[in-house]
Amino acid sequence: MEFGLSDEQRMLADSIRRFADERVDGERLKTLVDGGDTANAELLRGLAELGAFGILTPEEHGGSGMTLLDACLVQQALGRNAVPVPFTASAILAPLALRASGDAAAQWLPLLASGERRLGMGLSETAGKRSGTGITVAQDTASGVARFVIDGQGADAWILATEDHGLILVEAGAQDAECIALTTIDHSRSVAEVHLKRTPCTTLVAPGSHAATVGQLLAAGRVALAFDSLGAAERMLDRAVAYALERKQFGRVIASFQAVKHLCAEMAAEIEPCHSLLWYAAYAAEAYPEEFELMACHAKAHMGEVGQFVARTATEVHGGMGFTHEMGLHYFFKRIGLNRQLLGNPDQVRQHAAALQGWQRSAAAR
């Protein structure tokens, strides 16, 4: 059996990669990220014109109605350049959460597809609840704290998971809704903490009625983050190889040294199998939904480990220069690091996988 990307999917990935290469080279990335611009209007407009924000939105709502795998290929291409745009929540997770929500879908999906509005996504408490966090709902109002809301800062509204496995939508201007920017190691994306106190909300998934829906949404987020790390890891490998072919020591390029060759070969050997694992995990969302949550756990956990290895090794190939701001490796290093932690670190995700297979009990299991 042969499993790979179609010609159309390769063309999609290439078009986004070209866009990222043209709009976000090394110097532009430094200007945007160091200036705190994680929602640049020009980049958002360009991606909207390419149809990236409507990739998962059904055609009747102005999107292209494509698959999770297609959307994740876009995420991978953005990760290759650490493009500082709020894509994961608005283009991947929000459309999946809104699809079956009736009036909310009709209101928000066309706006998301066109890039006119942005949504943040709070699923961290589903992956692993921390002390003092969690959202409860009573009489169409929500109270509590949602931490590590993806793309939350500057969003027009947030979709948040509740403690009893529901989903609600809260508009940013709602009464007693406060959004606090969280500082993470990765400054190329916004992560926020949302505080609610009897704040009006819209129920998208009734609490306790469709826990599997929230589990599938969490799985989609994990796969998207894994693809983002894959793109960043590929770029770090490319940068390491290019540097090794340019940097000279003792009158020879360091790429001719066996130790450096081994480091680059080890990175390539770790990255290459990740493609098929991540492709299948995203493909399973539509083709084998009963396997999707488990495959998402495998993809997220494995890519978290591989990404960490590549980030460290690519930096080592650069020697002392790898730690300098001028080289710009730290943008990818930090992006991989945040992806590793969001929606469950490798240990948490493996515990969830074990629970899904009946091997142990876990609060994250559905």
Could you read off the pLDDT of 133-151 as tens digits, one per residue? 899 999 889 999 999 999 9
Q: What is the pLDDT of residues 52-94, one digit of tens each?
A: 999 999 999 999 999 999 999 999 999 999 999 999 999 999 9
Q: What's the pLDDT at 254?
A: 87
pLDDT tens-digit readout, 7-51: 999 999 999 999 999 999 889 999 999 998 989 999 999 999 999
**pLDDT at residue 221 in the model:** 97
What pLDDT does residue 101 have? 80
Percent of the chain with pLDDT over 90: 80
Percent of the residues in the chain that have a pLDDT greater than 70, as a whole number:
96
Q: What is the mean pLDDT of the chain?
A: 92
pLDDT value for 26: 87
Q: pLDDT by residue (tens digit) across 325-342?
A: 888 899 999 999 999 999
CATH class of 211-356: mainly alpha
Q: What is the pLDDT at residue 366?
A: 47
207 touches 166 (CB < 8 A): yes
Dihedral of alpha carbons 364, 309, 87, 178, sign: positive
**Which segment of 113-117, 185-189, 202-206, 229-233 scores lowest on mean pLDDT?**
202-206
Whether the pLDDT of residue 260 is over 60: the answer is yes
- CB burial of residue 85 (10 Å; 0-12, 13-18, 19+): buried
- If one counts every other C-beta atom within 10 angstroms of the C-beta of residue 73, the result is 26
Q: Quick one: pLDDT band at residue 361, thresholds 50, 70, 90? A: low
Q: What CATH code would you report for 7-117?
A: 1.10.540.10
Average of pLDDT values for 280-307? 96
The pLDDT of residue 211 is: 59
Domains of the chain, residue spans? 7-117, 120-205, 211-356
CATH of 120-205, one of 2.40.160.50, 1.10.3720.10, 3.30.420.40, 2.40.110.10: 2.40.110.10
